[in-house]
Each structure stands twice: as C-alpha cells, then as structure tokens.
C-alpha cells in the first residue's frame, strides 16, 4: 500500500461518506476506520465497502490513550483525518462532559500519539482535523464567517470543537506537526442520524408525528450536501497547504421555517399525499437554550485556492436525501428503536 490513513468517526454520518470516497478512489491506500460505535456510529452505513481489500475497521475509543498509542504502533499511519466527535448541540446542553472527553481529550490523545509516532518524519505526515463553522459563534443578519473570524463559540458543543481546533494549531506551532483544519457548515444527506433537523423531520413526517420547530423558526443555517463535504476533505487532504484553515460551505442559506416548508413540499410529493399534509404537522416548541441565530460561510478561499465548489443545487440534494431515506426505511427503523425513544421523550416532551 502506498499510504496508510486513519479516519476517525468513519461509521458516523460524514465519516462514512469520507471513508467510502477514499476506499473507492484510492485502492492503493489502506483506510483504517476507527470508531467507538456510539449511538451515532453505524456499520450499516458502510456495508457496500466493508469487504474491500484496502479497508479495515477498528472498534475503539479515542479517549482511551493507551489504545490510541497501540493503534499508531500497529499501523504506522501516514496521515489522520479526524472526524470522531460528539456532534449534536442539544445533547451537549444536557451532557457537556461527554463532549469535553471525546472532542477535547480524544483529540489531544490523537495528537500526542501522532507526535510520538511522527516526530522524526513530520515532513511526510498530515493531521487533518474536521471542524465546524459553529466555532465562530453567531452572526446577525449580515456578514459571513471568514477563516480569520475570531472564535466565539456559544454552546458546549462548539466550545469543545473550538478547544480541539486550538490544540491542533498549538501542536503545529509548538512541535511543528503538519496539520490542516476545515470548518464546515450544516451537512445534510443520506445516513444522518435522525436527531438532526432534516432526518428527524423526514422520520416524523413518515410517522405522522409533530415537527418541533424551535423558537420562532427564524434561525438561519447554510446547508451543504454531505458528498460535497467529503470531496472538499479529499481535496484539502491532498492539495491544501499545511498549517492552513479552510472554510467549507454551500452558499445556501435558509431560515429553518423556509427549509421546513421546502422539505414538507417535497415530502408530500414523495409520499403522494395532498399539498399541506406535512405542513399541518409543524409545531412551534420551546427554543434551544443559547440558540445561535445565524451561521453563514464565506467559502471563497477553498474555491480560489483549490477550485472547490458545491456540485449540487439544494433542491436536487434535498430530493436525493428524501429518496435515500424513503428507500432505506429499515435503516431509519433500526436507528430509531431502543435508546432513541428515550432520547426523543426526554428532548421533546
Ligand atoms: P456523527 O455524530 O454522525 O458521527 C460521529 C462518529 O464519531 C460516530 O460514528 C461515533 O460513533 C464516533 N465517535 C464518537 N465518539 C467517539 C470516540 N470517543 N471514539 C471514537 N469514535 C467516536 O457526526 P457527523 O455529523 O458525521 O460529524 C463528523 C465530524 O464533522 C464532527 O467532528 C463534527 O464536529 C464535524 N462537523 C459536522 C457537521 C454536520 O453538519 N454534521 C458540520 C461541520 C462539521
Ligand atoms: O453548522 C455546523 C453544525 O451543524 C455541526 O457542527 C453540527 O454537528 C450539526 O449538528 C449542525 O448543528 P445545528 O445545531 O445547526 O444542527 P441541528 O440539525 O441540530 O439544527 C439545525 C437548526 O434546526 C437549528 O437552528 C436548530 C433547529 N432545530 C433542530 C432540531 C433538532 C429545530 O428547530 N428543531 C429540532 O428538533
């Protein structure tokens, strides 16, 4: 094999798309997918590539320092693409410590293991840290997040991601470890766990359940199809400049309520029900504490330097997403049995 890459969190939503892309596109790379398989990790996401010769799955916890050191000894990685994280803002509000352990301590464990394993050969190595636009805080009606925007995280989730970003930069600055960081906006697409807005609402519509809109529904997010994020990660990993940060976004801002109306329209068509049927499920509920008003990304750096731009229009991406969930209702049924029911009751009752 030409290279051995560690991808963490590869059984999750974005990670599974990154693993698939790398396994298929780079048959000469050995792709090692390390995942703890939390509630958000699901090997069903990778059944189509699980028997590939250049793919290995390792079940493990990035918080377990000795395990991580052992993994670096075993594989002698050329690079790391680090996606493993606790990723849901609402869960970070009820259980911040889980986020500190995985997102901060877990990231530092990986950095330490990489530092020890790579210290005599940094020039051929790369630590790629996948982060979020939420580290920049919340925007008013105007403006966009640039790579130079000062950090101002507002939730336990975004604070833990901001902290991990700082540690990655500190290892670059202090020890010379080559790194890249990308900060991306809201992803959507197949395989997203139905605790996040779009898959939650798709699942609720198909089960004729209420659609819980937080607050006034006028919060704004920028949405990017997950495969476009995976392609950006591939490009940055191979062509990005070391020690740099790249913002990734869809140039595609929606208020939640407009997005939900668009989803309802497409779901009515997919289910063959009358106009207005899904819309009748919309229910305004108590707001998320500390809810960030607006995120919006200026992705011109990655566009100018690396030639990346989103490949799909939003309506098309949303259509593909709905098609996937409607064709994979077993997947939805499997991930919404068991613990999910308790989570849902606690979060929305
Ligand atoms: P996800 O929650 O779907 O998946 C996270 C994966 O990490 C799961 O497979 C889980 O089992 C694994 N994991 C969690 N804790 C672990 C641990 N201690 N050890 C090993 N594995 C562990 O998350 P996602 O939405 O795919 O996000 C992936 C990454 O991208 C995260 O770092 C997130 O912050 C970032 N990100 C997400 C979005 C988004 O819209 N979803 C946008 C920008 C950035
Ligand atoms: O911006 C990137 C971030 O996007 C990622 O870093 C996070 O991992 C990812 O979860 C996402 O964070 P958000 O908090 O924006 O995503 P979520 O899907 O939870 O919520 C999107 C918007 O919808 C937000 O304004 C809250 C609102 N919402 C969400 C849920 C789950 C509702 O109104 N009702 C809901 O039930």
Q: How is residue 38 written in tokens?
A: 């939390």
Quote the Cα angle for 132-116-169, to 5°.
30
Closest ligand 2 atom to Cα of 291: 25
- The model's pLDDT over 246-258, given as tens digits with 9 standing for 90+, comes to 999 999 999 999 9
Q: Does the residue 57 lie in any domain? A: yes
Among the bound ligands, name the one nearest to the CA of residue 130.
Answer: 1
319 pLDDT above the threshold of 90: yes
Give pLDDT, residue 332: 96
User: Any idea what the CATH number is for the domain that residue 29 is in?
Assistant: 3.40.50.720
Q: Does the residue 347 lie in any domain? A: no
Give pLDDT, residue 24: 98
To the query of whether residue 134 is one of the catalytic residues in this protein, the response is: yes
In the chain, % of residues over pLDDT 90: 99
Q: What is the distance in A from the centroid of ligand 2 to the CA of 2?
A: 39
345 pLDDT above the threshold of 90: yes
Q: Is the CB of 198 under 6 A from ligand 1?
A: no
Closest ligand 1 atom to Cα of 42: 9
Residue nearest atom 19 in ligand 2 by C-alpha distance: 196
Report field, pTM of the whole predicted structure over 0.95: yes
Q: Strand pairing partners for 58?
A: 34
Mean pLDDT of the chain: 98
Q: Is the CB of 107 under 6 A from ligand 1?
A: no
How are the residues of the chain apportioned to helix, strand and coil, as percentages rounded to the nearest 5?
45, 20, 35
Average pLDDT over every residue of 146-162: 98
Range of the domain at 178: 3-191+223-251+295-312
Residue nearest atom 37 in ligand 1 by C-alpha distance: 132
Q: Is the CB of 197 under 6 A from ligand 2?
A: yes
Residue nearest atom 4 in ligand 1 by C-alpha distance: 12
Residue nearest atom 10 in ligand 1 by C-alpha distance: 41
Based on the structure, what is the number of domains in the chain?
1
First to last CA, the chain: 52
Q: DSSP strand E in 133-191: where?
A: 179-184, 186-188
Catalytic residue among 78, 133, 222, 292: 133
Give residue 66's pLDDT band: very low, low, confident or very high (50, 70, 90): very high
Q: Does the residue 280 lie in any domain? A: no
Location of structure tokens 């595609």: 252
Average pLDDT over every residue of 202-224: 98
Give pLDDT, residue 349: 85
Q: Is the CB of 9 under 6 A from ligand 1?
A: yes
Nearest Cα to Cα of residue 83 among 27, 40, 49? 40
To the query of whether residue 78 is one of the catalytic residues in this protein, the response is: no
The helix (run of H) or strand (run of E) holding residue 38 is none
Q: Is the CB of 256 under 6 A from ligand 2?
A: yes
Q: Is the CB of 130 under 6 A from ligand 1?
A: yes
Q: How is residue 96 written in tokens?
A: 């911040």
Q: How far is CA 109 from the centre of its chain?
A: 20
Give residue 97's pLDDT band: very low, low, confident or very high (50, 70, 90): very high
Q: Does the residue 56 lie in any domain? A: yes
Give pLDDT, residue 328: 97
Q: Does the residue 242 lie in any domain? A: yes
Count of beta carbons in the 10 Å neighbourhood of residue 64: 14
In the chain, % of residues over pLDDT 70: 100
To the query of whether residue 133 is one of the catalytic residues in this protein, the response is: yes
Average pLDDT over every residue of 225-254: 98
What distance separates the 2 farthest-apart alpha carbons in the chain? 65
Q: Does the residue 123 lie in any domain? A: yes
If one residue of 89, 158, 191, 348 were mutated to test the ligand 2 pocket, choosing by the most ligand atoms within 8 A of its CB, it would be 89
* 3-class secondary-structure state, position 240: coil
Q: Does the residue 199 lie in any domain? A: no
Give pLDDT, residue 86: 98
Q: Phi first, then psi: give them for residue 303, nearest 5 degrees.
A: -70, -50
Distance CA 319, CA 266 (A): 7
Q: Does the residue 322 lie in any domain? A: no
- The model's pLDDT over 267-307, given as tens digits with 9 standing for 90+, comes to 999 999 999 999 999 999 999 999 999 999 999 999 999 99
Q: Is the CB of 213 under 6 A from ligand 2?
A: yes
CB 50, CB 19: distance < 8 Å: no
């Amino acid at each position: 094999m030409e290279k051995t890459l560690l991808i963490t969190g590869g059984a999750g939503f974005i990670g599974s798309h990154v693993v698939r892309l790398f396994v298929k596109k780079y048959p000469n790379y050995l792709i090692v997918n390390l995942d703890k398989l939390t509630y958000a990790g699901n090997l069903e996401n990778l059944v189509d590539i699980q028997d590939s010769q250049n793919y290995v799955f390792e079940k493990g916890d990035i918080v377990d320092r000795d395990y991580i050191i052992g993994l670096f000894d075993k594989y002698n990685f050329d690079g790391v693409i680090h996606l493993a994280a606790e990723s849901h803002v609402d869960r970070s509000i009820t259980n911040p410590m889980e986020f500190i352990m995985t997102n901060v301590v877990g990231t530092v464990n990986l950095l330490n293991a990489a530092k020890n394993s790579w210290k005599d050969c940094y020039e051929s190595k790369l630590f790629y840290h996948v982060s979020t636009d939420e580290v920049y805080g919340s925007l008013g009606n105007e403006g966009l997040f640039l790579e130079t925007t000062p950090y101002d995280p507002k939730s336990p989730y975004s604070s833990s991601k901001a902290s991990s970003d700082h540690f990655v930069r500190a290892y670059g600055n202090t020890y010379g470890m080559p790194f890249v960081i990308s900060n991306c906006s809201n992803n959507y697409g197949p395989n997203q766990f139905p605790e996040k807005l779009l898959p939650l609402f798709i699942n609720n519509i198909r089960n004729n359940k209420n659609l819980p809109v937080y607050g006034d529904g006028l919060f704004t997010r920028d949405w990017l199809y997950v495969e476009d994020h995976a392609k950006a990660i591939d490009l940055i990993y191979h062509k990005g400049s070391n020690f740099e940060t790249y913002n990734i976004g869809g140039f595609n801002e929606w208020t939640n309520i407009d997005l939900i109306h668009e989803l309802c329209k497409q779901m009515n068509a997919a289910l063959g029900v009358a106009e207005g049927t899904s819309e009748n499920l919309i229910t305004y509920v108590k707001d998320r504490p500390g809810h960030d008003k607006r995120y919006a990304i200026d992705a011109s750096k990655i566009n100018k330097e690396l030639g990346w731009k989103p490949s799909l229009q939003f309506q098309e991406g949303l259509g593909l997403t709905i098609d996937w969930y409607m064709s994979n209702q077993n997947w939805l049924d499997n991930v919404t049995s068991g613990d999910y029911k308790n989570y849902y009751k606690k979060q929305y009752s």
